[in-house]
Structure 1
């Protein structure tokens, strides 16, 4: 059973309480469906759904075997979309990701053969194992949802979500993602190991593959994306986001702070997170809850700070403690 979009919204119009409640119900239904495949990870599922609603991409830094592939497939199945998996290796070429142009001798023309990037949900597994040249093939498509091959542009469609993974433990033979690539991921998070109760449920299902029901269609997700664009962000909330980003640039441990794209990502992610909660406006708590995941991977620490064991997450955490919180609930 799929959830059909019940409303249409003008990009300039307001978001009503009824529409926000419908959006929250749609997200909750999708999260329930995905939990058939990913047990005990409700928050991560909601973060990935919120990122899809915000039109962003997810970087999962996690050890092997925690369910990253299952999460990507379950998300695509829940919304009746297409999914693909790209295993990044040192010998992977850019054309293996984006596709190539092949000459058809019978027709006497060149034809474009689309690569695995042409899907609604793309799992880029162990992205840091590919060469920088292959990694850079994702830059255009992640930002503009299109691929340019031999001078011709091919749109990948909408919705489009990249879930990239990297292993934080095994670093031999890997290539660190460049800052420009990291900046295109809206949020960085991890799935982690399940708790005891979730592990028991997983073991009890070991002899059968969990069936993920299709509970929405592509139109529903597109509608949710339209709603998130008109979630109200008050001037005080916008100023709070700006102060957080500016503080990340002034921190003594930081060599390069968060970019303007980082500030925009935090605002868009907060709007989607408010919609997941069924609200028409962003609160300071939305920003505080998401700031570390959205900003930490965008900053570069000083070498001395890294040597002393300082982490980007700790820097953002201290910034959140030091930056005054707006004394309002964000309503219009």
Structure 2
């Protein structure tokens, strides 16, 4: 048997095997204009198993195995004030959103999630329905996240009509690639949900937290003490006291929306000189009345930088090194002599702190 004959025979067997696969949930596939529609169904009687099948009638999108390799630079989870769990993969024009519907309780088992459609703009809406009226939203989210985080059963994501599919040992494999988690809870946010998310989500390298994020003291400390590479937030959400600043363990911190007191910043610099915040590489923070340099540097030995220097910081979205050039600044040294901090005092009451070893 020649190579071409063998190849043709193998291709016939492959087509025959996949042609028998029926896409579940196809009754939802006709929605949207232009004939672009589809459905995703998550459903299983086993709470430790999730089966995802994506069906599209006329979509020409092909997603290769390289798609999963780039998750670490192109996606983030978002927890919004509407109690949504959103997975954004902008480079691939895919948006997956989990929305909790509190107005339509149903007696269905919570493991069987239905009402899932693909929108016209490549975004997928997961409509999650609690099974009874008195079911607490926080408990329900935690239960769903437990299911979503199952790590023992294999989950299959099947893309049609290309017949290409990718198998993940669990949805947790997808979560492992996430490098940015954005918490945008409003005043109606659920602290229990945030605590649960911290427990089951992998330790992402980046976090963005809104100013109205409702965090109790314990959850706030768990955020700040994590070994993050990048943390962006409004200090009103996390820095409720000076001690919160000292326990912040991220390497790159963006808190430019703040307006903390000069006395706090002066105290922070003194504590850094003594050895606090050893992982800090870059700090961008708003300081009230920053033009009063004498108050900022009171009691601190420093020297003015007399030459133009280049520093590298991590880009928020791509995690790539971004060069920053500083022509004027103030240098301070840690007492052990192992690190130097360069302060860039800007005219817009923003203080940048670059730390080099």
Fold-level similarity (TM above 0.5): no
- Please identify which structure carries the higher helix content: 1
Q: Normalized per residue, which structure has more strand? A: 2
Larger radius of gyration: 2
Higher relative contact order (CA 8 A, sep 6+): 1
